[in-house]
Structure 1
Amino acid sequence: MAKISIDQLKTSIDTAHSILLTVHVSPDGDAIGSMLAMYEALVAQGKAVRMVVDDVIPEKFSFLPLCSKIEPIESLESGYTSDMLLILDASTFERIGEVGVRVSAPTFNIDHHISNTEFADGLYLRPDFSSTGETVAYLCKIWNWEITQSMGQALYMAMGTDTGFFKFSNTTAHTMEMAGLCLQAGAQPHVISEAIEMVEPGRIEVMKQVLDNVSFHHEGQVVSMCLTLPLMERIGDDTDGFVDMIRNIKGVDVAIVLKAKTETVTRASIRSKVRDANQIASNFGGGGHIRAAGCSIESPIHEALEQILAVID
């Protein structure tokens, strides 16, 4: 379990022939975009590469052709061996689900979360970067790996979704430089945003009910949205954008979206402007970034909300 340099990562990749790529469960745009770009780059280097994810891939990412190459966990036999298990955008081993249990291989991790638990045999961590997508773009630049049009599309999406399409405070000059490389490669921002932000008519009906579950706390500085089990059954796994509906309310510092996974397990997504979201989530074994973090709490949804509110100053 050690942090490694960019040169050490390159040497490890160069000496590996078979590489299995995976990302965290509930994959978002950064995870999917980073993995697809890395897959294409590694194939171009002559590697035998597979992508396996222990979760459903949201339909909105299907505009990226290589999404069809992502295999479900059922395709991965127990005891599968590889020269390298390369984990992208996951800060803990548990976040990759059954993939970690089924694969026998040295583990390498490319990540940008300050909450990374340094679980891998080799960790290349860039908390100064906005996203894993920015990190992969940087690796391609330094290693002189071509960023193709499809890679640029995937990496632009990765950076865009983790920065609120370059609106959040994690957007830096370096982020824009890497996004520029993607544009030079042929990335199409309008195609990406239309695919990611498209809303199904049925989702609008659900959002009416969702807004009825918004509450204010701590004299309006904290806002919460509770997605109960009945609502989650209607929404499905795609809750992207819900936290953005409430994070920009005037006077709000902390926005919390709680999703009921079961009657007794709640998943929380936390966004902040001043307070440390990572610190709040760490009270429950979670983490992420200073302004964006998440955690799971083994309590019913309304009890979980009270527990989170209790740790917010």
Structure 2
Amino acid sequence: MEMLNIDSLKAIIDDAQSIVLTVHVNPDGDAIGSMLGMYEALLQQGKNVQMVVDSPVPHKFSFLKYADRVQPPEALQSLEQPDILLVLDASTFERIGKVGEVCKAPIYNIDHHISNTKFAAGLYLVPEFAATGEIVAHLCEQWHWPITPSMADALYLGIATDCGFFKFSNTTEHTLRMAALCVQCGARPQVVSEHVELTSMNRLAIMRKALANVEFPHDGRVGIIALDEELMALAGDDTDGYVDLVRNVEGVDVAVLLKAVGPKTTRVSLRSKATDVNQIAGHFGGGGHIRAAGCTIQLPLEAAKAELLKELP
């Protein structure tokens, strides 16, 4: 594994003619935004580029240009192997799902997660940046690659969603500057926020049921919101924002979202104001950032909650 700098990363991209882009499963705004931004940038450089992801693009991101070009892993079976597989916003090989099994090209990784396992042949890691979208915007600026209005929308989406629309502690001067660069290049903050925050009556009904069982253990320092299998069947992958329902409660340091994705599998999202939740997620084989992390516990929801509480302060 080689730690790449900005020059060695550009040399690898320059040398590659065919590139497959991918991101982590269950992609969020940063994954989709950074991928679409990089996709259009590479098209402008004359590259043969494909986007392949082992999960559908969430509907709320479908307003972005080229979102309809994202293909499932099966599409790779009918394509020639690319020169490189460029992985964005994923910190482990497992996080890219079936794409890693199907695509045998050398893997290069652009990421901002401090928990990155250095799984790629080459890694460009900037953990001080709030989002991979921030990295891509920075690369375009440094390499003098034009940022079109559609790229700007995508990269702004990535930046804004991964720092809580500039509310989280990972928001820095550079984060704001890259967001401003996107706006200067044509990003539409109001359009992005309207699509990201758009909700439905069904989602509100699910939230109401989930809030009926919110818990505040550890003297109120921890807030837990849980979606059992019944609620997950209704919610699907649309669970963004649920953890913030308890994160913003006065006195809560660590907010937890538990999702029963199977009879013996619970997916966990952690957010905090002071505690290092990356370390807690790491105990269960996960990771992320100091203030935002996640993991999967191979236990039923209630048992997973019990084990998690043992690790929480």
Q: Report the TM range for the smaller structure's normalisation.
A: over 0.9
1:96 match: 96
Deviation at 1:65, TM superposition (A): 2.1
**Equivalent-residue separation in structure 1 for 2:213 and 2:151 (angstroms):** 39
Q: Secondary structure at the match of 1:105?
A: coil
| Number of aligned residue pairs | 313
Residues 186-201 of structure 1 aligned to structure 2 (within 5 Å): 186-201=186-201
**Equivalent-residue separation in structure 2 for 1:30 and 1:271 (angstroms):** 17
The 8 Å contact of residues 78 and 102 in structure 1, kept in 2 or not, is answered as no
**Equivalent-residue separation in structure 2 for 1:142 and 1:184 (angstroms):** 16
TM-score normalized by the length of structure 2: 0.99
Deviation at 1:278, TM superposition (A): 0.2
The 8 Å contact of residues 52 and 70 in structure 2, kept in 1 or not, is answered as yes
Give the aligned residue type for 2:94. E
Give the aligned residue type for 1:112. H
Give the aligned residue type for 1:187. A
Residues 144-293 of structure 1 aligned to structure 2 (within 5 Å): 144-293=144-293
Cα-to-partner distance string for 1:246-281 (whole Å, 9 max, x where unaligned): 101000000000000100000000001111010110
1:33 match: 33
Q: Which moved more, 1:288-297 or 1:72-81?
A: 72-81
Q: Secondary structure at the match of 2:294?
A: strand
**Equivalent-residue separation in structure 2 for 1:23 and 1:102 (angstroms):** 14
Q: Which moved more, 1:69-78 or 1:113-122?
A: 69-78
**Equivalent-residue separation in structure 1 for 2:78 and 2:94 (angstroms):** 17
Cα-to-partner distance string for 1:40-69 (whole Å, 9 max, x where unaligned): 000000000000000121100011021011
Deviation at 1:202, TM superposition (A): 1.2
2:296 match: 296
Unpaired segments ≥5 residues, structure 1:
none
Deviation at 1:213, TM superposition (A): 2.2
**Equivalent-residue separation in structure 1 for 2:106 and 2:247 (angstroms):** 40
1:113 match: 113
Q: Secondary structure at the match of 1:127?
A: coil
Q: Which moved more, 1:207-216 or 1:108-117?
A: 207-216
TM-score normalized by the length of structure 1: 0.99
Q: What is the RMSD computed on CA atoms of the aligned residues?
A: 0.9
- Asked if 1:73 corresponds to 2:73, the answer is yes
**Equivalent-residue separation in structure 2 for 1:73 and 1:19 (angstroms):** 14
The 8 Å contact of residues 79 and 103 in structure 1, kept in 2 or not, is answered as no
The 8 Å contact of residues 79 and 104 in structure 1, kept in 2 or not, is answered as no
Deviation at 1:80, TM superposition (A): 4.9
The 8 Å contact of residues 216 and 224 in structure 1, kept in 2 or not, is answered as yes
The 8 Å contact of residues 266 and 298 in structure 1, kept in 2 or not, is answered as yes
1:139 match: 139
Residues 119-134 of structure 1 aligned to structure 2 (within 5 Å): 119-134=119-134
Give the aligned residue type for 1:132. T
Unpaired segments ≥5 residues, structure 2:
none
**Equivalent-residue separation in structure 2 for 1:300 and 1:80 (angstroms):** 41
The 8 Å contact of residues 80 and 102 in structure 1, kept in 2 or not, is answered as no
Cα-to-partner distance string for 1:65-90 (whole Å, 9 max, x where unaligned): 21011011222218951101000000
Q: Quick one: structure 1 residues 47 and 225, their matched pair in 2 at CA, closer, same or farther if it must change by over 3 Å? A: same
Give the aligned residue type for 1:194. E
Deviation at 1:145, TM superposition (A): 0.3
Deviation at 1:131, TM superposition (A): 0.4
Q: Secondary structure at the match of 2:21?
A: strand
The 8 Å contact of residues 114 and 288 in structure 1, kept in 2 or not, is answered as yes
1:312 match: 312
**Equivalent-residue separation in structure 2 for 1:204 and 1:123 (angstroms):** 40
Q: Which runs of 4+ in 1 moved over 4 A?
A: none
**Equivalent-residue separation in structure 2 for 1:189 and 1:51 (angstroms):** 25
The 8 Å contact of residues 80 and 103 in structure 1, kept in 2 or not, is answered as no
**Equivalent-residue separation in structure 1 for 2:258 and 2:85 (angstroms):** 32
Cα-to-partner distance string for 1:139-159 (whole Å, 9 max, x where unaligned): 000000001100000000000
Cα-to-partner distance string for 1:92-122 (whole Å, 9 max, x where unaligned): 0000000011012111000000000000000
Give the aligned residue type for 2:190. H
Q: Secondary structure at the match of 1:71?
A: coil
